[in-house]
């Protein structure tokens, strides 16, 4: 059986999977299947509790998404599950022609996928490793093609005997038709026929004779019409030809069966290969299904992490960090993304707020993010989300918003809670909706606190939704527990569904009643019944919510302003580059024109000097000599002015041609930022750009143009910006810190970083692995040596970590 099918026998609690609607996610995943076996595989997919397996599944999905971004040709459409055919052939059963045709088509799909994936082994090594197990046909495709055509018919050339039989069939059929047609064309017999046609009854060719002419044509009656007006007769003159034709048809059938039986025997020899190919195709198609589903969900790969043991803490070591997570089954334009953060001190969250405020959807979203991540599905959340791999996920959710189920009774909730608490441990995630509801509020609240205490003592990570106000103070005053709520807008009387970690939910009953017009006298009486301290706390919560909303709005506005400013900066940089280019062209033209004018002046000066020399030898020409000398002085003055102007122009467009010096300003071409040369080592330059120090080749930089005399105001603008910042490219940082990680985890992070950096067009980056024992350093450098994304790497400079750092230069992704 398939590895994935074996994983479907997961220890994950099946009832919780249903309550969290994981099966509905799988139904959507199933729609991306190319053939029936992979569709079945999708419906049986279950999350794994193994960190290593979950990481492999995520890496497979990532590699598949990358390949699908390169081509639309990677698919398994046209394939079928060949396992039943292989088993039939192995039991010496004869396969029908359509089934053999299906095997041929499936092998062709397998061959094409195998070839493509092996060609892309560097980009998708995990998928290429699986593709090795796919069949490339082994001559079976050609063998079937020589036997069966595309319509599923056995070819004449399948055997010499079959070819001879079919040749005899054609001749016999032709002669038989000649004799039958004589009855249609002969005036005497044709008038006795109901229609001028030849038909068949019982495999024999017959004529439709009018009943009143029975016996007038010597024949055998095979059938008659329902009205009795027509008899279907076989003339005695064609009986022998009909017999011969029928015998040849039987011979053809027997020979076809023999050919198919022999071909089925050939297939039997490849039964194991066909079974394996079907299963591997289904596994690969499942991975492609995950990738296509991720594309449509606009999902990202979460970082899966192990539980972090903390011997000095009661914390179980779990971590959930979700950024803008969306419920995968809700319309993207209607669902409100949530941020979830379980920090290093918190592992239980008490979620409070009014009914219909979105608590159930929030719990389901958290649960589905975990389940999807551990099943190799990318999650509908922003990149950077991190999730621990749990051993099991338990849920007790009475979905009040589901039209498919009614609310569970109190006893039903308790029964489910008993089962959960018996099985849950410190590696479990527990999601409880409306804990303690459905009974007396005082008893329900006490029960809820007791259950939370029980889970805290056993270090069980949990999210608990409740409407009991007592649990707010419990969460506030208990270590390891925090409050959370879903925002409610008192102006619109509607929930906004935004999750706020750290803030308890407010009671909005009186505010809603007041907005809806309840008599003020009743409201005032109700307020008197409430503990003043509770009212004060509620007012404080309202102010905190208001201030937080204002801060969120301001933050959103500042983000938009920052993005707008960055966009304008890019546009201005482009305009400046264009202006500088035009200026250079103008200066070049002016320089050329000045050179031409200077050359004319030089010619004139030389001509005048010759005239002066000639006049100097003639004393009577003193007046003319003085005029010429005056003209010469004038031309020399013009010449001098032109040269001064030319030198100024040359200074403005100065581009150094000498060697690069330490301290010189340069432009880093790929990043478009300014840096300063701090050291020169052979043909390598050390460039300081902001807080980052880079090692570059001369072709990676361009020298800074001297523009101070042209636009001194620009220098002031640059100074206002502060130090140069080295940007990330497409959100990929230029530095990866692997210190403190196990070798396996470090390599996973390194592989992901290399692929992201290459795809994003990052020119280079720094890998920090530390010195230590040297095992991690050598493993990293060995990976860099063989990576298709890397052109070269080098040891870090003495002032940037030395042997504890490797600087890597990436291939161009253009």
Question: Quick one: pLDDT at residue 440?
Answer: 72
- Tens-place pLDDT, residues 355-391: 655 888 999 999 999 999 999 999 999 999 999 999 9
CA distance 575 to 718: 17
172 or 505, which is more confident: 172
H-helix segments, 617-664: 622-652
Q: Which residues pair with 210 in a beta bridge?
A: 230
Helix or strand (DSSP H, E) at 585: helix 532-616
Asked if the model's pLDDT at residue 400 lies above 50, the reply is no
Contact 183, 190 (CB under 8 A): yes
CA distance 508 to 525: 16
Question: Quick one: pLDDT at residue 713?
Answer: 36
What is the mean pLDDT of the segment spanning 779-801? 83
Q: Which of 440, 423, 561, 434 is nearest to 505 (CA)?
A: 434
CA distance 133 to 118: 11
Positive/negative CA dihedral, 417, 418, 419, 420? positive
Q: Which two tokens stand for residue 704?
A: 């800074």
407 or 217, which is more confident: 217
Q: Which two tokens stand for residue 729?
A: 């490219």
Range in 151-160, 215-224, 417-426, 768-777 the model is least confident about? 768-777
CA distance 388 to 307: 6
Average pLDDT for the chain = 82
Q: Which two tokens stand for residue 666?
A: 């340069």
Positive/negative CA dihedral, 650, 655, 661, 665? positive
Residues 6+ apart with CB under 8 A from 291: 61, 64, 65, 67, 68
Contact 42, 289 (CB under 8 A): yes
Asked if the model's pLDDT at residue 523 lies above 90, the reply is no
Residues 6+ apart with CB under 8 A from 161: 255
User: How many alpha carbons fall within 13 Å on the CB side of residue 333?
Assistant: 0
532 or 653, which is more confident: 532
Q: Which two tokens stand for residue 775?
A: 């095992």
Give the count of beta carbons closer than 10 Å to the beta carbon of residue 261. 14
- Architecture of the domain made up of 303-516: 3-Layer(aba) Sandwich (3.40)
- Tens-place pLDDT, residues 586-596: 767 776 776 67
Range in 62-76, 92-106, 107-121, 798-812 the model is least confident about? 798-812
Q: Which two tokens stand for residue 622?
A: 């003193």
- State pTM to two decimals: 0.63
pLDDT above 90 covers a percentage of the chain that reads 42
CA distance 485 to 481: 13
Q: Which residues pair with 736 in a beta bridge?
A: 767
CA distance 277 to 388: 34
Question: Quick one: pLDDT at residue 10?
Answer: 54
Asked if the model's pLDDT at residue 719 lies above 50, the reply is no
Range in 228-237, 665-674, 768-777 the model is least confident about? 665-674
What is the mean pLDDT of the segment spanning 593-604? 69
SS3 258: helix
- Predicted confidence band of residue 558 (pLDDT cuts 50, 70, 90): confident
Tell me the CATH number for domain 735-810. 3.30.1370.110
Q: Which two tokens stand for residue 401?
A: 């918003």
What is the mean pLDDT of the segment spanning 688-702? 73
CA distance 664 to 680: 11
CA distance 186 to 209: 14
pLDDT above 70 covers a percentage of the chain that reads 78
Question: Quick one: pLDDT at residue 16?
Answer: 92
Asked if the model's pLDDT at residue 646 lies above 50, the reply is yes
Residues 6+ apart with CB under 8 A from 202: 222, 223
- Tens-place pLDDT, residues 733-767: 778 888 888 888 888 889 888 888 887 777 778 89
Asked if the model's pLDDT at residue 508 lies above 80, the reply is no
What is the mean pLDDT of the segment spanning 70-90? 94
- Tens-place pLDDT, residues 30-57: 999 999 999 999 999 999 999 999 999 9
- Predicted confidence band of residue 721 (pLDDT cuts 50, 70, 90): very low
DSSP 535-573: HHHHHHHHHHHHHHHHHHHHHHHHHHHHHHHHHHHHHHH
Range in 31-45, 270-284, 304-318, 741-755 the model is least confident about? 304-318
Q: Which CATH number fits domain 3-138+270-297: 1.10.3470, 3.90.1150, 3.30.1490, 1.10.1420?
A: 1.10.1420
Task: Give ∠ CA 412-417-420 in degrees, rounded to 5.
Answer: 130
From residue 116, alpha-carbon distances to 71, 75, 568, 574, 653 in Å are: 10, 11, 43, 41, 53
- Tens-place pLDDT, residues 324-343: 999 999 988 888 898 998 87
Q: Which residues pair with 396 in a beta bridge?
A: 432
Residues 6+ apart with CB under 8 A from 562: none
Question: Quick one: pLDDT at residue 53?
Answer: 95
Give the count of beta carbons closer than 10 Å to the beta carbon of residue 526. 13
- Tens-place pLDDT, residues 11-29: 588 999 999 999 999 999 9
Question: Quick one: pLDDT at residue 644?
Answer: 55
CA distance 372 to 149: 44
Asked if the model's pLDDT at residue 538 lies above 90, the reply is no
Asked if the model's pLDDT at residue 716 lies above 50, the reply is no
CA distance 360 to 399: 7
Question: Quick one: pLDDT at residue 562?
Answer: 77
């Amino acid at each position: 059986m398939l590895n994935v099918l074996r994983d479907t026998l997961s220890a994950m609690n099946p009832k919780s999977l249903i309550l969290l609607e994981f099966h509905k996610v799988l139904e959507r995943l199933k729609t991306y299947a190319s053939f029936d076996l992979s569709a079945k595989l999708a419906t049986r997919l279950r999350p794994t509790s193994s960190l290593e397996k979950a990481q492999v599944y995520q890496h497979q999905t990532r590699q598949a998404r990358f390949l699908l971004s390169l081509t639309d040709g990677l698919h398994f459409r046209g394939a079928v599950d060949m396992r039943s055919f292989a088993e039939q052939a192995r039991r010496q059963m004869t396969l029908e022609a359509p089934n053999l045709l299906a095997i041929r088509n499936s092998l062709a799909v397998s061959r094409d996928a195998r070839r493509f994936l092996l060609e892309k082994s560097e980009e998708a090594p995990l998928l290429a490793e699986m593709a090795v197990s796919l069949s490339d046909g082994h001559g079976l495709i050609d063998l079937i093609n020589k036997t069966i055509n595309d319509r599923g018919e056995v070819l004449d050339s399948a055997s010499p005997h079959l070819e001879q039989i079919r040749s005899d069939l054609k001749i016999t059929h032709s002669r038989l038709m000649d004799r039958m047609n004589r009855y249609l064309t002969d005036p005497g017999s044709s008038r006795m026929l109901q229609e001028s046609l030849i038909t068949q009854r019982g495999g024999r060719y017959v004529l439709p004779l009018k009943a009143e002419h029975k016996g007038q044509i010597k024949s055998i009656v095979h059938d008659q019409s329902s009205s009795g007006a027509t008899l279907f007769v076989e003339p005695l003159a064609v009986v022998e030809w009909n017999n011969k034709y029928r015998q040849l048809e039987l011979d053809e059938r027997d020979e076809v069966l023999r050919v198919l039986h022999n071909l089925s025997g050939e297939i039997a020899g490849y039964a194991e290969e066909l079974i394996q190919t079907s299963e591997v195709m289904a596994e690969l198609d499942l991975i492609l299904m995950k990738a296509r589903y991720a594309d449509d969900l606009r999902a990202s790969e979460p970082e899966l992490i192990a539980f972090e043991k903390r011997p000095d803490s009661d914390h179980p070591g779990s971590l959930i960090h979700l950024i803008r997570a969306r419920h995968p089954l809700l319309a993207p334009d209607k669902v409100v993304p949530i941020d979830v953060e379980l920090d290093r001190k918190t592992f239980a969250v008490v979620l409070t707020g009014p009914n219909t405020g979105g608590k159930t959807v929030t719990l389901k979203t958290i649960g589905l993010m975990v389940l999807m991540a551990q099943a190799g599905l990318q999650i509908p959340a922003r990149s950077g989300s991190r999730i621990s791999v749990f051993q099991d996920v338990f849920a007790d959710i009475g979905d009040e918003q589901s039209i498919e189920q009614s609310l569970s009774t109190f006893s039903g909730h308790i029964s489910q809670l008993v089962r959960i608490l018996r099985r849950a441990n410190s590696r479990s995630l527990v999601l409880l909706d409306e804990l303690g509801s459905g009974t007396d509020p005082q008893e329900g609240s006490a029960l809820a606190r007791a259950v939370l205490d029980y889970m805290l003592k056993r270090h069980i990570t949990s999210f608990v939704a409740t409407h009991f106000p007592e649990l707010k103070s419990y969460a506030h005053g208990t270590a390891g527990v925090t409050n959370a709520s879903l925002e409610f807008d008192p102006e619109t009387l509607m929930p906004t569904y935004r999750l706020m970690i750290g803030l308890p939910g407010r009671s909005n009953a009186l505010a809603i009643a007041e907005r809806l017009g309840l008599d003020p006298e009743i409201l005032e009486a109700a307020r008197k019944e409430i503990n003043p301290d509770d009212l004060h706390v509620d007012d404080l919560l309202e102010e905190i919510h208001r201030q937080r909303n204002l801060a969120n709005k301001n933050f959103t506005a500042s983000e938009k302003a920052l993005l707008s400013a960055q966009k304008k900066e890019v546009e201005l940089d482009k305009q400046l580059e264009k202006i500088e280019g035009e200026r250079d062209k103008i200066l070049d033209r002016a320089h050329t024109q000045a050179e031409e004018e200077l050359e004319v002046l030089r010619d004139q000066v030389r001509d005048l000097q010759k005239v002066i020399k000639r006049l100097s030898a003639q004393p009577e020409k003193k007046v003319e000599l003085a005029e010429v000398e005056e003209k010469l002085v004038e031309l020399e003055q013009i010449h001098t002015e032109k040269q001064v102007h030319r030198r100024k122009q040359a200074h403005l467009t100065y581009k150094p041609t000498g060697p690069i010096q330490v301290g010189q300003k340069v432009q880093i071409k790929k990043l478009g930022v300014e840096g300063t040369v701090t050291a020169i080592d052979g043909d390598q330059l050390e460039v300081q750009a902001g807080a980052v120090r880079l090692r570059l080749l001369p072709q990676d930089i361009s020298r800074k143009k001297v523009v101070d005399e042209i636009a001194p105001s620009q220098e002031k603008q640059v100074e206002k910006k502060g130090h140069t910042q080295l940007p990330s490219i497409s959100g990929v940082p230029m530095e990866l810190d692997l210190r403190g990680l196990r070798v396996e985890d470090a390599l996973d992070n390194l592989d992901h970083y290399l692929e992201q950096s290459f795809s994003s067009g990052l020119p280079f980056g720094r890998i920090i692995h530390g010195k230590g024992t040297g095992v991690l350093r050598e493993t990293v450098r060995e990976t860099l040596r063989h990576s298709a994304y890397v052109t070269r790497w080098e040891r870090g400079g003495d002032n940037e970590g030395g042997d504890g750092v490797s600087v890597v230069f990436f291939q161009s992704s253009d």
